[in-house]
Amino acid sequence: MDNIILIVVAAVVGLAIGFAIAKMMEKGKASKTIANAKKEAANIIKEANKEGESIKKDKIFQAKEKFLELKAEHEKVIINKDKKIAEAEKRTRDKESQVSSELAKNKKLNDQYQQKIKEVEYKSDILDKKQSEVDKLHKSQVQQLEVISGLSAEDAKAQLLESLKETAKSDAMAYLQNTLEEAKLTAQQEARKIVVNTIQRIGTEEAVENCVSVFNLESDDVKGRIIGREGRNIRAIEAATGVEIIVDDTPEAIILSCFDSVRREVARLSLHRLVTDGRIHPARIEEVVKKTEKQINEEIAEIGKRTVIDLGIHGLHPELIKAVGRMKYRSSYGQNLLQHSREVAKLCGVMAAELGLNPKLAKRAGLLHDIGKVPMAEVEVETPHAILGMQWAQKFGEKDEVCNAIGAHHDEIEMTTLLSPIVQVCDAISGARPGARRQVLDSYIQRLKDLEDIAFGFNGVQKAYAIQAGRELRVIVESEKVNDDKAAELSFEISQKIQTDMTYPGQVKVTVIRETRSVNVAK
């Protein structure tokens, strides 16, 4: 029992001693750790101080550089401001010197002006005195003449005026007679020259319109679809377009008949759309016709704009531009109205330039001379187209010269300007030009044949061709029968024959061609 107690006591004592030793060892280690931590802290503080000093020096250096930079910029701004101030001062000094010189100059001019006024006043006084003296002398001379002649001044003046009047009247009559004779001799020649030059400088294409259009079909099966059940489709098309549709035995074609080219074109385009689309029934027909009419109206406006731009005409009223566009779908004696009006405008421009008038105004009158043929309403059809066109031109603000030229080109009103006869002549030229209108075409072709027949009436002529619309006859002769001298003689004889036997406008140039060919064959 005692041993156990001793062991327990020994164990307790041992634990106490071990605990004390452990505490002492831990205390020594802790002191050592604290010492190391203090040393490291001192090192960190030292490094931080060094780094802070370095950063401080850098910041101070950067601050100095920024200060120097700002100082330099500030000095530069100050220099620029000083420079501008100096320039402004210089300009001010220059202006002051200029103003001073102007003031001095004005003062000098004012002094000269005052001096001139004094001189003029002095001269005016002298002139007044001299005028009074001259009046006195004239009065005394008139009195002396009245005494000598036995007539008063008024009677003498009346006799003198009467004698001068008779002399002037006789001289004027003689001059007028001479002028009229000279004008009669030269006017017709000059007029012919201007007309011929104008015709030769203008050319145009011909277009013949009629009242019927042929609409081609891919097959005859389409005809039945166009006619529709009991003819309802064809009636709907006729009602919507105002065009008569003729369906006969003609294979793969139907005929559109209408005097109005616009309505005929609307019907043709509408049928093309319907056939292409394949849906043909009354509701669809009305829809397509409305769209086509809108398209045609836009096209008419565009045609009018292009026409006035091509002719160099500006400031035309939009309604007149539309009327010009509608001319494309009108014809006069088979001649397309728009083409005819364009041609008349060009002819008027050329002729006005030849006569020294305003060519642009002449073109304007020539283009608009037939706008009365495209009436905007059916009630206007009863009015002559020249008068109707003049009324439109007046309504839409055209000049009086243009309005008179439009209204007078068929002599329905009196011509008051020089443009009126020019438009009338150019209208006649365009209508009478060979091939322009149906009734002129046959006579034109016959004239060309007669021209060639005259050449064939001479010996040695092999071929003859009338070219340049009958203004040139080209004759090819046989080289064996006609020599060079004979060719020149033949050209003269043919031209004389044409001049005596034919009636033609302008001139006909006769060209005789003699050609020699030698042909061999190598075998």
Given this model, what pLDDT does residue 503 score?
Answer: 75
Given this model, what pLDDT does residue 432 score?
Answer: 67
Q: Quick one: average pLDDT of 357-362?
A: 87
Q: Which of 422, 396, 202 is nearest to 311 (CA)?
A: 202
Cα 91 from Cα 89, distance rounded (Å): 5
Given this model, what pLDDT does residue 197 score?
Answer: 66
Vertex 422: Cα angle to 418 and 426 (nearest 5): 170
Lowest mean pLDDT among 106-110, 229-233, 265-269: 229-233
Mean pLDDT rounded to a whole number for the chain? 78
Is the pLDDT at 348 greater than 70, yes or no?
yes
Are the beta carbons of 262 and 210 closer than 8 angstroms?
no
Is the pLDDT at 88 greater than 80, yes or no?
yes
Lowest mean pLDDT among 78-92, 124-138, 166-180: 166-180
Is the pLDDT at 460 greater than 60, yes or no?
yes
Helix (H, G, I), strand (E, B) or coil at 255: strand
Q: Quick one: average pLDDT of 345-349?
A: 88
Is the pLDDT at 183 greater than 50, yes or no?
yes
Given this model, what pLDDT does residue 89 score?
Answer: 87
**Who contacts 251 (Cβ-Cβ below 8 Å, separation ≥6)?**
220
**DSSP letter (8 states) at residue 476:** E
- Residue type present at position 373: K
Cα 341 from Cα 324, distance rounded (Å): 9
Is the pLDDT at 406 greater than 70, yes or no?
yes
Is the pLDDT at 379 greater than 50, yes or no?
no
Cα 158 from Cα 165, distance rounded (Å): 10
pTM of the predicted structure, to 2 decimals: 0.44
Is the pLDDT at 1 greater than 70, yes or no?
no
Tokens of 313: 């005409």
Q: Quick one: average pLDDT of 426-451?
A: 68
Higher pLDDT, 72 or 467: 72
Are the beta carbons of 363 and 346 closer than 8 angstroms?
yes
Q: Quick one: average pLDDT of 382-393?
A: 81
